[in-house]
């Protein structure tokens, strides 16, 4: 009865909606339905945003900003630009290829004197040293002696050290004069600029990064494959055993997580070294002679074995979580319909575990590509990965820009693989838990 | 059972026992013969062993003892994929990564059938369940009832002689379930296949089956046609499990003609039909169907007074809860027909039933 009275707000909405065909729905008070909906939801949305705000701020401050800074370092290196104003001005004024004249040497000496005063000779020397090894001392010595130099400065400097006339040095200084440079990326793929500015490969005995990228990729793929082969049966067992037994097994799978990574890696060293448990056992069993002990550490084998073991749980868990949701009646139905157990596995069970395989493989691969401690400890020179070199440049050589360039290339590589994965398998099919 | 089981048995359980843990028997000494073309239902509460029997027949469980024969051939050691038995699973078990067509074509593919023959059979099976238009859909895009039909078509597509169904309609709503019951029944009649059907829904069992095997505690309590099962339950479990049932507990006093005289809990004597009661002095349980009890009927030895405790109006009839011989769960259905007297809560009425409708059974 009340629906007959026009005062009922529901009737108003229905009437308006029916009257204006295909037009936007309008509420009783004249606002559009979309507006009203947005208004009614905005409060809830604001509260939700406030709830995630602390985490968002934390992530931005501790993760996105530092990574952005580091990536900026890979192309931005201002030490030379900031501390050598006179020489930078000369480079700006003269086109590339200009032979440095007396005015250039005068600017250089003026800057060297400035360096003496500001005590920044080491910084500038280091920057040039990245691209022309051995030239750091040139700058520290030059700055020390600059006060006593008399014009003509070219002769004076060349007398101090003949390397000041090296065209390669001037080429490096010219490129360093600009605060932005792609040279670190070139260095990261074993390229450099020649003295005339063209891009060439570095000398054969100094090509190391491309080989390391390749080795990192190959070992990571191998480790991912081994982890998959080992984890698949375990995950299947976990998913099909009765709960009490599978819980016990799950604890065994997770046990490594409760031990320090360092402890796990060093225990592999105990097992694998040439005087270690495995070799001793083989010798004691007479399978190998005492002089034929197998070298399983400080090479690729050690890295692969230890990393496969350490990353195995990351493969088991996504596989397990997917397999647990696969109803056993699927395989039963396949068997009932006439499939042998192998056909039932291949056609029915395996395709349904692909999301788990994808998730586990992606997880293990990405972790393996960036792995550091294990290859550093058991890898020796043969089994080190690109991350070890990144660590070397951050801790030892202090060439953070090169480290940043290497890390950026690694990140780009992973993103490309991720994109490929998305195209081939589909990210929607990923199931992490 | 008589004549049917004497025919050449198509499926035969011969002294089959099953234990999972080696301590208790889930199926105790099962003997069951199923004739070719028969629709037989295994009915029972959960845990009664009916699904285990089905799984043993399909080959997913092995019998601990005894023999199962299919067309005279022992199949205990034949793996499931070589038995050629169709099966509809409780959750349908349609392969989620395949289309409807691929699901149906799977059993034909693994039998090495050619593409054209496969397509023809798939189409015929889909026509059978009126789902031809859905051949390219994925199971997840179908409603429950449609998935049910596809599961049915998949179990039939390779033309098995025997089809097992494990509570296939359990997940459907009431209306759809009733509709599918008829469809399955009609398919069974048209194709002449043998169906072994498992359910815990007694209405389903009664409407569909030629014979029903009522399971409890790993034993077949009664194997009979639906009508016999309802009208002539052989023990208290079947009487309780099938349909609604009023029970009166008592002690056997004497036998007279073809009736037994029982002393009830309140001391009154009543006459009943001795189906499964012991000698004089033993305990018994009298079972009376609510629709066999009359209000204000002609006097007979079983007429007694009853107090009306509760009335539930159900449209076509009124359910009356009465206190009869001290049992205040006694139900009588009063038809809502013209001229029928209506009871009021608290009044005392006269109820009666014929002695042959009161079946004296074993005590629970």
Do A43 and A167 belong together in one domain? no
Q: Chain A neighbours among B 236-265 (CB < 8 Å)? A: none
For residues A163 and A264, state if they share a domain. no
Please give, rounded to a whole number of angstroms, the shortest distance from the CA of B38 to a CA of chain A: 21
Judgement on whether residues A333 and A226 belong to the same structural domain of the protein: yes
Cβ contact A351–B97 (<8 Å): yes
Asked if residue A2 has pLDDT above 70, the reply is: no
Angle between helices A350-369 and A209-240 (to 10 degrees): 140
Q: Residue A233 and residue A241: Cα distance in Å, rounded?
A: 12
d(CA B279, CA A213): 93
| Distance from the Cα of residue B93 to its chain's centroid | 23
State whether A256 and A401 are in the same domain.
yes
List of chain A residues whose C-beta atoms are within 8 Å of the C-beta of residue B89: 329, 332-333
- Percentage of chain A beyond pLDDT 90 is 34
Final residue in a domain of this structure, among B236, B258, B276: B236
A214 and A336 in a single domain? The answer is yes
pLDDT (0 to 100) of residue A10: 47
Q: Within this chain, do residues B46 and B109 fall inside the same structural domain, yes or no?
A: yes
Residue carrying the six token digits 């229905």: A14
Residues of A in contact with B87 (CB under 8 A): 333, 336
List chain B residues with CB under 8 Å of A330.
93, 95-96
In whole angstroms, what is the distance from residue A84 CA to residue A327 CA?
Answer: 71
Q: Tell whether the model's pLDDT for residue A25 goes beyond 90.
A: no
The answer, for B102 touching chain A at a CB cutoff of 8 Å, is: no
Q: What's the CATH number where B161 sits? A: 3.40.50.300
User: Would an 8 Å CB–CB cutoff place A348 in contact with chain B?
Assistant: yes
Q: Assess contact for B345 and B308: CB atoms under 8 A.
A: yes
Q: Are residues B139 and B226 in the same domain?
A: yes
Q: Do A252 and A369 fall within a single domain?
A: yes
3-state class (DSSP) for residue B87? strand
Q: What is the pLDDT of residue A175?
A: 86
In whole angstroms, what is the distance from residue A379 CA to residue A373 CA? Answer: 9
Residues B292, B144 share a domain: no
DSSP assignments along B312-344, one per residue: EE-SSEEEEEEEETTEEEEEEEEE--TTPPPP-
Give the integer Cα–Cα distance in Å for A57 and B267.
83
In tens, the pLDDT along B88-135 reads 998 899 999 999 999 999 999 999 999 999 999 999 999 988 899 999
Contact status, residue B192 vs residue B185, Cβ threshold 8 Å: no
Residue A192 shares a structural domain with residue A239: no
- Integer Rg of chain A from CA: 33
Is the pLDDT confidence value at A14 over 50? no
The two tokens of residue B71 are 């067309």
Average pLDDT over residues A260-286: 89
Which residue among B166, B201, B236 closes a domain? B236
Is a pLDDT exceeding 90 seen at residue A181? no
Domains identified in chain A, total number? 3
Whichever domain contains A355, its CATH number is 1.10.3720.10
Q: Are residues B169 and B199 in the same domain?
A: yes
Chain centroid offset of residue A65 CA: 16
Tens digits of per-residue pLDDT, B301-314?
A: 888 889 999 999 88
Asked if residue B107 and residue B214 are part of one domain, the reply reads yes
ipTM of the complex: 0.81
Tell if the CB–CB gap between B96 and A329 is shorter than 8 Å: no
pLDDT of residue A205: 82
pLDDT of residue B2: 42
Element (H, E) at A365: helix A350-369
Please list the residues that pair with B17 across neighbouring strands: B65
Pair (B229, B305) in one structural domain? no
Same domain, B53 and B70: yes
Q: How many other β-carbons are positioned within 10 Å of the β-carbon of residue A4?
A: 7
B361 touches B287 (CB < 8 A) = yes
Contacts of B313 (CB under 8 A, 6+ apart): none
Spatial distance between the Cα atoms of B217 and B239, rounded to a whole number of angstroms: 16
* pLDDT surpasses 50 at B360: yes
Contacts of A340 in chain B (CB under 8 A): 81, 110
Q: State the pLDDT confidence band at B7, using cuts at 50, 70 and 90.
A: low
Q: What is the rounded CA–CA span in Å between residue A319 and residue A349? A: 12
Selecting from A332, A339, A341 the residue whose C-beta is nearest the C-beta of B93 gives A332
Contact A404, A392 (CB under 8 A): no
Domain interval for residue B187:
2-236
A327/B106 Cβ within 8 A:
no
User: Helix/strand/coil (H, E, C) string of B255-278?
Assistant: EECCEEEEEECCCCEEEEEECCCC
Kindly state the average pLDDT of the residues A331-355: 93
Name every chain B residue with its beta carbon within 8 A of the beta carbon of A335.
59-60, 79-81
Q: Which residues in chain B are contacts of A337 at CB distance < 8 A?
A: 81, 106-107, 110, 154, 158
Residues of A in contact with B106 (CB under 8 A): 334, 337, 339, 347
Contact A339 B95 (CB under 8 A): no
d(CA B9, CA B150): 30
Contact (CB<8Å) B110/A338: yes
Give residues with Cβ within 8 angstroms of B141, minimum separation 6. Answer: none
| pLDDT score recorded for residue A6 | 45
Question: Which residues from B are below 8 Å from A341, CB to CB?
Answer: 81
Q: Is residue B216 a contact partner of residue B27, using CB atoms and an 8 Å limit?
A: no
Whether residues B282 and B208 share a domain: the answer is no
Distance of CA A52 to the CA centre of its chain: 26
Residues B19 and B129 in one domain: yes
Kind of pairing between the strands at B194-199 and B39-43: parallel
Q: Which of A183, A200, A217 is the last residue of a domain?
A: A200
* Chain A residues with beta carbon closer than 8 angstroms to that of B198: none
Nearest to A329 among B79, B89, B158 (CB): B89
Contacts of B60 in chain A (CB under 8 A): 332, 335-336
Sequence-ordered list of residues with C-beta below 8 angstroms from that of A327, at least 6 positions apart, any chain: B91, B93
Query: Which residues, other chains included, contact A32 with Cβ-Cβ below 8 Å and sequence gap of 6+?
Result: A24, A25, A26
Give me chain A's average pLDDT, please. Answer: 86
Selected residue of B78, B93, B160, B165 to mutate for chain A interface (largest A Cβ count, 10 A): B93
Q: Give the tens place of pLDDT for each residue, B246-300.
A: 999 999 998 888 889 999 988 888 989 888 888 888 899 999 999 888 887 788 8
Question: By the CB < 8 Å criterion, does B97 face chain A?
Answer: yes
How many domains does chain B divide into? 2
Q: Which of A154, A173, A200 lies at the terminal end of a domain, its last residue?
A: A200
CATH code for position B332? 2.40.50.140
pLDDT of residue A261 exceeding 70, the answer is yes
| Residue A198, pLDDT score | 81
In this model, does residue A288 exceed pLDDT 50? yes
A97-131 residues labelled b (16+ CB within 10 A) or e (exposed): eeebeeebbbbbbbbbbbbbeeebbebbbbbbbbb
Note the pLDDT of residue A18.
Answer: 44
Domain stop point among B197, B214, B236: B236
Cβ contact B87–A351 (<8 Å): no
Q: Are residues A273 and A186 in the same domain?
A: no
B205 φ, ψ to 5°?
A: -60, -45
Distance from CA of B149 to the nearest CA of A (A): 15
Place of tokens 């998913």: A239
Q: How far is A235 from chain B (nearest CA, A)?
A: 21
B68, B174: one domain: yes
B81 Cβ under 8 Å from any chain A Cβ: yes
- Assess whether A57 and A147 both reside in one domain: no
Do A310 and A221 share a domain, yes or no? yes
Residues A179, A83 contacting (CB under 8 angstroms): no
Q: Does A143 touch chain B (CB under 8 A)?
A: no
Interfacial A residues in 303-332 facing B (CB < 8 Å): 327, 329-330, 332
* Residue B304 β-bridge partners: B351
| Yes or no, beta carbons of B81 and A330 under 8 Å apart | no
pLDDT digits (tens, 9 = 90+) for A217-260: 999 999 999 999 999 999 999 999 988 999 999 998 888 888 88
User: CA B103, CA B135: separation in Å to the nearest integer?
Assistant: 9
**Same domain flag for A300 and A248:** yes
Residue that terminates a domain, selected from A73, A108, A125: A73
Mean pLDDT rounded to a whole number for chain B = 89
Mean predicted confidence (pLDDT) in B127-154: 92
- Residues B280 and B327 reside in one and the same domain: yes
**Cβ contacts of A252-256, under 8 Å, gap ≥ 24:** A253/A312, A253/A313, A253/A316, A253/A317, A254/A313, A256/A309, A256/A310, A256/A312, A256/A313
Domain extent for A22: 2-73
Residue, of B277 and B230, whose pLDDT is higher: B230
Q: Is B166 within 8 Å of B199 (Cβ atoms)?
A: no
Please indicate whether, in this complex, the C-beta atoms of B60 and A335 are within 8 angstroms of each other.
Answer: yes
pLDDT at B154 over 50: yes
Å between A336 CA and nearest CA of chain B:
5
For the cut 60, the answer to whether the pLDDT of residue A22 exceeds it is no
Q: What is the pTM of this model?
A: 0.77
B164 and B276: one domain?
Answer: no
Average pLDDT over residues A269-289: 89
Same domain, A35 and A108: no
Q: Which residues of A touch B153 (CB under 8 A)?
A: none
End-to-end CA distance of chain A: 53
């Amino acid at each position: 009865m009340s629906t007959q009275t026009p005062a009922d707000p529901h009737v108003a909405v229905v009437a308006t909606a029916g009257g204006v065909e295909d037009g936007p729905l309008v509420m009783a008070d004249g606002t559009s339905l979309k507006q009203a909906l947005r208004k009614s939801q905005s409060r809830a949305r604001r509260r939700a945003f406030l709830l995630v705000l602390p985490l968002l701020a934390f992530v931005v401050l501790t993760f996105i900003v530092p990574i952005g800074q580091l990536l900026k370092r890979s192309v931005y290196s201002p030490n030379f630009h900031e501390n050598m104003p006179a020489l930078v001005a000369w480079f700006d004024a003269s086109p590339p290829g200009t032979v440095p004249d007396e005015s250039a040497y005068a600017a250089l000496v003026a800057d060297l004197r400035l360096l003496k005063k500001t005590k920044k000779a080491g910084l500038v020397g280091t920057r040039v040293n990245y691209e022309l090894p051995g030239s750091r001392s040139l700058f520290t010595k030059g700055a020390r002696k600059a006060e006593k130099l008399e014009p003509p400065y070219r002769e004076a400097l060349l007398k101090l050290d003949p390397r000041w006339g090296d065209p390669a040095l001037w080429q490096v200084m010219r490129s360093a004069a600009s605060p932005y440079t792609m040279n670190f990326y070139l260095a990261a793929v074993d390229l450099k600029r020649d003295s005339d500015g063209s891009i060439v490969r570095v000398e054969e005995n100094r090509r190391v990064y491309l080989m390391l990228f390749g080795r990192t990729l190959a070992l990571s793929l191998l480790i991912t494959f081994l982890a998959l082969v080992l984890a698949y049966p375990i995950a299947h067992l976990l998913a099909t055993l009765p709960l009490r037994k599978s819980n016990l097994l799950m604890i065994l799978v997770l046990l490594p997580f409760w031990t320090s990574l360092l402890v796990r890696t060093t225990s592999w060293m105990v097992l694998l070294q040439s005087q270690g448990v495995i070799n001793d056992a083989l010798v004691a069993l007479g399978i190998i002679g005492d002089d034929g002990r197998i070298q399983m550490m400080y090479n690729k084998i050690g890295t692969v074995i230890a990393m496969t073991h350490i990353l195995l749980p990351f493969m088991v868990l996504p596989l397990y979580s997917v397999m647990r949701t696969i109803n056993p009646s699927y395989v039963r139905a396949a068997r009932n319909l006439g499939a042998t157990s192998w056909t039932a596995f291949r056609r029915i069970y395996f395709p349904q575990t692909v999301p788990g395989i994808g998730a586990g493989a992606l997880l293990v691969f990405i972790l393996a590509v960036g792995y550091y401690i294990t290859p550093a400890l058991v890898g020796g020179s043969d089994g080190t990965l690109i991350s070890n070199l990144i660590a070397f440049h951050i801790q030892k050589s202090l060439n953070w820009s090169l480290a940043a360039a290497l890390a950026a290339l690694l990140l780009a590589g992973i993103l490309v693989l991720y994109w490929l994965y998305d195209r081939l398998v589909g990210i929607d099919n990923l199931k992490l838990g | 059972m008589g004549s049917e089981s004497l025919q050449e048995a198509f499926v035969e359980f011969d002294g089959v026992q099953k234990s999972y843990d080696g301590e208790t028997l889930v199926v105790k000494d099962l003997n069951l013969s199923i004739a070719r073309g028969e629709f037989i239902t295994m009915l029972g509460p959960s845990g009664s062993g009916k699904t285990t029997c089905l799984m043993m027949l399909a080959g997913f469980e092995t019998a601990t003892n005894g023999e199962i024969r299919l067309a005279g051939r022992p199949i205990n050691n034949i793996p499931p994929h070589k038995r050629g038995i169709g099966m509809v699973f409780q959750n349908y078990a349609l392969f989620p990564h395949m289309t409807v067509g691929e699901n149906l074509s799977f059993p034909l593919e693994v039998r090495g059938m050619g593409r054209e023959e496969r397509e023809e059979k798939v189409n015929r099976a889909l026509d059978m369940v009126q789902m031809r238009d859905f051949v390219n859909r994925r199971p997840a895009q179908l409603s429950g009832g449609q998935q049910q039909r596809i599961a049915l078509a998949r179990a039939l597509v390779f033309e098995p002689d025997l089809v097992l169904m494990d509570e296939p309609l359990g997940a459907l709503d009431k209306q759809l379930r009733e509709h599918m019951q008829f469809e399955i029944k009609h398919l069974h009649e048209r194709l002449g296949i043998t169906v072994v059907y498992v359910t815990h829904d007694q209405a389903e069992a009664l409407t569909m089956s030629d014979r029903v095997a009522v399971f409890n505690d790993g034993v077949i309590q009664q194997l009979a046609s639906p009508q016999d099962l309802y009208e002539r339950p052989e023990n208290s479990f079947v009487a309780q499990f099938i349909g609604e049932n009023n029970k009166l507990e008592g002690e056997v006093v004497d036998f007279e003609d073809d009736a037994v005289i029982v002393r009830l809990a309140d001391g009154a004597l009543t006459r009943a039909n001795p189906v499964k009661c012991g000698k004089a002095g033993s305990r018994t349980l009298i079972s009376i169907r609510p629709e066999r009890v009359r209000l204000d009927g002609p006097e007979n030895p079983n007429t007694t007074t009853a107090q009306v405790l509760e009335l539930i109006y159900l449209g076509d009839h009124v359910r009356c809860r009465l206190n009869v011989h001290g049992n205040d769960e006694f139900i009588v259905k009063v038809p809502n027909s013209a001229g029928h007297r209506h009871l009021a809560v608290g009044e005392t009425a006269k109820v009666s039933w014929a002695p042959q409708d009161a079946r004296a059974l074993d005590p629970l």
